[in-house]
Amino acid sequence: MKNSTQNPLVVSWLLLLSLALIWGSSFILMKRGLLVFSPLEIASLRISAAFVALLPFAVFHARKIPLSKWKYLLVSGLLGNAIPALLFPLAQTQLLSSVTGVLNGLTPLFTVLVGALFFSQKLKYKQLVGLGIAFIGAALLSIAKKGGGFGDINIYVLLVVLASFCYGISLNVIKSNLAEIDSFPIASCAFLTVGIPSILFLFFGTPFLSHFQEAQEITIQTSVIPHSVLVWKSFFYIVILGVVGTAIALVIFNKVIQLNDAVFASTVTYFIPIVAIFWGVIDDEPLQSGHFIGMALIVFGVFVANRWK
């Protein structure tokens, strides 16, 4: 009898759920990082960590990529990685991590919309319906108050919407201009275009190192180490976000596509919000009925758009 763990479908599901757990946990990791570091520092550290983790693969694949394709890799590096890496923690300075995680579910919808607007792809009626439903959900989340009910618009929601829009552009550029190159070389080499600038900016353009120096001085002067522990914990949370949430997740995602297909892999979109909400509840985030209504509409809108193509 064939071992169930050798069944491609079983392995695909296990990997898919692992991927959902990793990506769904990204938002609580950013929240932990924000206890010490600024959004700019988090973005730079995250990209730097992912760049270092993927560097051996990027070097191996770089020589196989035509010079004419590197401008598209730069677009992917910026819009698919660097800019969203800044927009998400910046948004989370004023948004619950669970809400940010659900708003990230707009990515496949923006991929469809950008494809229709700029890449001559057809937008079907039920995809348009799904977009409408999801955007109503996003609008509700933008006015949902922490204490319940609805109030003024929280413009920080727009930062997550912008990040999802960036993802949509990046995915369409890859599909239209890099289709003949495998996804793993694309992703790893995209970090070659943004990795070194991120490292340089982290060390020379932000007060990143000063956090560790300050923690050491406080420890020496007071013999109390909690602040030092907090700094190092926040540092490792973001390194995990970069290495596991980007590099390792990329390997898993490509393996899922290899075992099944891209459509199956895209179902991870439905599980990421569940994981993000779970962490939000564990962290005592004050989710109210308005949040749940908005989040449910986004997930349902994604389902409608992806279900009938």
| Predicted confidence (pLDDT) per residue in 143-153, tens digit | 876 555 566 67
CA distance 173 to 166: 11
pLDDT band of residue 252 (cuts 50, 70, 90) is confident
Residue 163, domain member (yes or no): yes
Closest CA to 55 of 178, 181, 187: 187
Instruction: List Cβ neighbours of 295 (8 Å cut-off, separation of 6 or more).
Output: 98, 99, 102, 137, 141, 273, 277
User: Which pLDDT score, from 0 to 100, does residue 40 have?
Assistant: 97
Q: Which of 78-82, 179-183, 289-293 has maximum average pLDDT?
A: 78-82
Of residues 29, 2, 17, 75, the one with CA closest to residue 236: 29
Residues 194-210, mean pLDDT to the nearest whole number: 96
Q: Give CA torsion, residues 102, 256, 171, 250, to 10 deg.
A: 80
For the record, the structure tokens of 224 come out as: 């109390």
Which residue bears the tokens 């196989």? 64
- What pLDDT, on a 0 to 100 scale, did the predictor assign at position 193? 95
Listed residue (79, 78, 23) closest to 192, CA to CA:
78
d(CA 61, CA 304): 37
Domain membership flag for residue 12? no
Average of pLDDT values for 41-50? 97
Assigned domain for 99 exists: yes
- Supply the DSSP symbol for 1: -
Q: Do the domain assignments include residue 22?
A: no
Q: Is residue 188 part of a domain?
A: yes
Q: Is residue 213 part of a domain?
A: no
Q: Dump pLDDT digits (tens) for 80-110.
A: 999 999 999 999 999 999 889 888 888 888 8
Q: Is residue 52 a part of any domain in this protein?
A: yes
**Mean pLDDT, the chain, as a whole number?**
86
In whole angstroms, what is the distance from residue 142 CA to residue 81 CA? 24
Q: Does pLDDT of 203 surpass 90?
A: yes
Per the model's pLDDT, the better-predicted residue between 255 and 18 turns out to be 18
pLDDT band at 1 (very low <50, low <70, confident <90, very high): very low
Does residue 308 register a pLDDT over 80?
no
Q: What does residue 269 show for φ and ψ, rounded to 5 degrees?
A: -55, -35
Domain of 303?
28-207+224-307
User: What's the domain count of the chain?
Assistant: 1
Helix residue ranges, H only, the chain? 8-24, 26-33, 39-62, 70-77, 83-91, 97-103, 107-118, 125-143, 156-177, 183-204, 208-222, 226-242, 249-259, 262-266, 268-282, 289-307
Cβ atoms of 264 and 256 within 8 Å: the answer is yes
How many Å separate Cα 292 from the centre of its chain? 21
pLDDT attached to residue 231: 92
Whether the per-residue pLDDT at 222 is higher than 70: the answer is no
Give residue 6's pLDDT band: very low, low, confident or very high (50, 70, 90).
low
Whether 212 is in a domain gets the answer: no
